[in-house]
Amino acid sequence: MACIDELTGLLDTLCPMHVVLDGTGHIIHAGPTARKLHGDRPLEGQRFLELFELCRPRAVSSMPQLMAVAGVKLHLKTRGEPQTGLKGVLCPLPAIDGAVVNLSFGISIIDAVRDYALTSADFAATDLTVEMLYLVEAKSAAMEASRKLNQRLQGAMIAAEEQAFTDTLTGLKNRRALEHILPRLLQERQPFGLMQIDLDFFKAVNDTMGHAAGDHVLQCVARVLVDSSRDDDCVARVGGDEFVLVFRGITKPEILERIAERIISEVEAPMPFGDATCKISASVGISIYNGEAAHEVSIEQLMADADTALYASKHKGRATSTIFSADLRSKGEQTG
């Protein structure tokens, strides 16, 4: 018996995931890692084939049949939950008319580490599984670091793109953003109303009250324009006191004129700045894209049409809006 004790002590170190069977197929000793497969339940005294299902070779249901496959690679799984896949090999142990079955997790090792809270101490020091666990852990750490880096890079890229398309003073879109949005709408043949706005008497504010007052006016106007548009619309500052609004799906002249009238009315309201008050107005020119094919119209032409209508509003005395029509273009050409 002392000899068996010495043997099992040796096996616990060299192959901690083993079981020793007696001649009836009952477990008389289990290595420390093998014991973890059944939690707090003792393995000793249990029949091996009642705890482990032999998947290959099949039709093994007794100890004699089990001894007959000694040296053959065994494919097993635990009968309890979780059903862990195992590999094993049986070696006869003549001293007790029994056998030693050495087990391993094989490709189930990752799941087993999670399910049974295994550490490197649960494997023999020379077991390649330990090296694989280190590699898996290193790979997981590297992948997590790569994921976080990609998230930061993605965030930085989005922030850079957002900054590139944003007017820093007002927070509106800028000309670059407009040049990105309009061609896409034209390519997809999505109808829209294009509104070009120029502030009246803005230069006088800058000249008499300073650029700080001018910046304040621009920010106030930006809020008016955002409040007068929807989330899907585009509001852009394209120059010093020049703005462009793109109203997706709105092509009825009467609706666009009502929006323009509301904008003009709100822009004309006095804007307090310190102890002073800034007073401006706005002139509006409108062109409409009804969804024609790209070869029938261009962004440059739509912008030029809105600019022509804006010039007509200025000519009419400012603080008004004008819808572009073909006769405006001909009048402009005659004036030129």
Q: Using CA atoms, how far apart are residues 144 and 138, in angstroms rounded to an integer?
A: 10
Q: Using CA atoms, how far apart are residues 95 and 84, in angstroms rounded to an integer?
A: 31
Q: Using CA atoms, how far apart are residues 235 and 238, in angstroms rounded to an integer?
A: 10
According to the model, what pLDDT value does residue 335 have? 47
What does each of the 336 residues of the chain score in pLDDT, given as a tens digit? Answer: 556 778 888 898 899 999 999 999 999 999 999 998 887 678 899 999 999 999 999 889 999 999 999 999 999 999 888 888 999 999 999 888 899 999 998 877 778 878 888 887 888 877 777 666 666 666 777 788 788 878 887 776 756 666 678 999 999 999 999 999 999 999 999 999 999 999 999 999 999 999 999 999 999 999 999 999 999 999 999 999 999 999 999 999 999 999 999 999 999 999 999 999 999 999 999 999 999 876 678 999 999 999 999 999 999 999 999 999 988 876 654 444
Q: Using CA atoms, how far apart are residues 61 and 67, in angstroms rounded to an integer?
A: 11
Strand 276-278 to 271-273 pairing: antiparallel
Domain ranges of the chain: 2-126, 128-164, 175-335
CATH of region 2-126: 3.30.450.260
Instruction: Determine how many CB atoms are found less than 10 A away from the CB of residue 299.
Output: 17
CATH of region 175-335: 3.30.70.270
Which pair of structure tokens corresponds to residue 14? 């060299």
Which pair of structure tokens corresponds to residue 233? 């619309």
